[in-house]
A and B are shown apart, each in its own frame.
Chain A
Amino acid sequence: DTAVSQTPKYLVTQMGNDKSIKCEQNLGHDTMYWYKQDSKKFLKIMFSYNNKELIINETVPNRFSPKSPDKAHLNLHINSLELGDSAVYFCASSQPLHRGTEAFFGQGTRLTVV
């Protein structure tokens, strides 16, 4: 069983479209995250949810809207896609990190906006 799974793995879409990426974890973790890795390979946190509540929002354009229907799922919806949104998006989950725990990452969704 995959601990953190993302779908789709690849996503190619045109500018201006709206798309969603889904993430599910089966680890029973309370906290989930979205990270973005750009073409220069920098990994940056975008959002963090704890028990379905948003706790971290790292100055991300409001075209990006995370939604957590339950604590096992954290989906990322992106409106009006732009070329600069092309990146690999990673979902992760953990118990609260301030307790010194490990985070598990999904395999990523490679988004290409053309």
Chain B
Amino acid sequence: DAKTTQPPSMDCAEGRAANLPCNHSTISGNEYVYWYRQIHSQGPQYIIHGLKNNETNEMASLIITEDRKSSTLILPHATLRDTAVYYCIVSNTGKLIFGQGTTLQVKP
């Protein structure tokens, strides 16, 4: 599975959009980009995933560059409850390999 690189931490003001970047320059053609988050010590929570096209759901948007070497997770209106560790994972196998993720702190 390809490795990903994420900034260790980011801050965001409440109500503003949070843009979380991820680099996956060694991604292969059939690997999906997944985003999960872990709030405090809860179980990881699925956010969104995509292969080539941009995706949007009720939680977030995923923007994947045309060369697929990087992506951005967008939380359009961050709330305090979005404070969590966000993991970007690329995979096409039967397992998710979690890196260190980005700790997003949403501030009032």
CB–CB B94/A106 < 8 A: no
Q: State the majority secondary structure of interface residues on B.
A: loop
Minimum CB–CB distance from B43 to chain A (whole Å) comes to 3
Minimum CB–CB distance from A102 to chain B (whole Å) comes to 4
Is B60 interfacial (CB-CB < 8 Å)? no
Is A12 interfacial (CB-CB < 8 Å)? no
Is B91 interfacial (CB-CB < 8 Å)? yes
Interface residues on A, range: 20 to 34
- A-B contacts counted at CB < 8 A amount to 58
Instruction: Using A90-B43, A108-B41 as known contacts, say yes or no to A33 and B95 having CB atoms under 8 A apart.
Output: yes
Q: State the majority secondary structure of interface residues on A.
A: strand
Minimum CB–CB distance from A48 to chain B (whole Å) comes to 5
Is B54 interfacial (CB-CB < 8 Å)? no
CB–CB B43/A108 < 8 A: yes
The distance in angstroms between the C-alpha atoms of A37 and B16, with both chains bound, is 31
Is B21 interfacial (CB-CB < 8 Å)? no
A43-86 interface code vs B (CB 8 A; 1 in, 0 out): 11100101000011010000000000000000000000000000
CB–CB A97/B46 < 8 A: no
CB–CB A56/B42 < 8 A: no
Instruction: Using A100-B51, A104-B46 as known contacts, say yes or no to A45 and B95 having CB atoms under 8 A apart.
Output: yes
CB–CB B94/A96 < 8 A: yes
CB–CB B96/A97 < 8 A: yes
Chain A residues in contact with chain B, CB under 8 A? 4, 31, 33, 35, 41-45, 48, 50, 55-56, 58, 88, 90, 92, 96-98, 100, 102-108, 110
**A and B contact pairs by CB, cutoff 8 A, 19 listed:** A31-B94, A33-B95, A41-B85, A42-B98, A43-B44, A45-B96, A48-B95, A56-B95, A90-B44, A92-B43, A96-B94, A97-B91, A97-B94, A97-B96, A100-B49, A102-B46, A105-B44, A108-B42, A108-B43
Chain B residues in contact with chain A, CB under 8 A? 32, 34, 38, 41-46, 49, 51, 85, 87, 91-98, 100
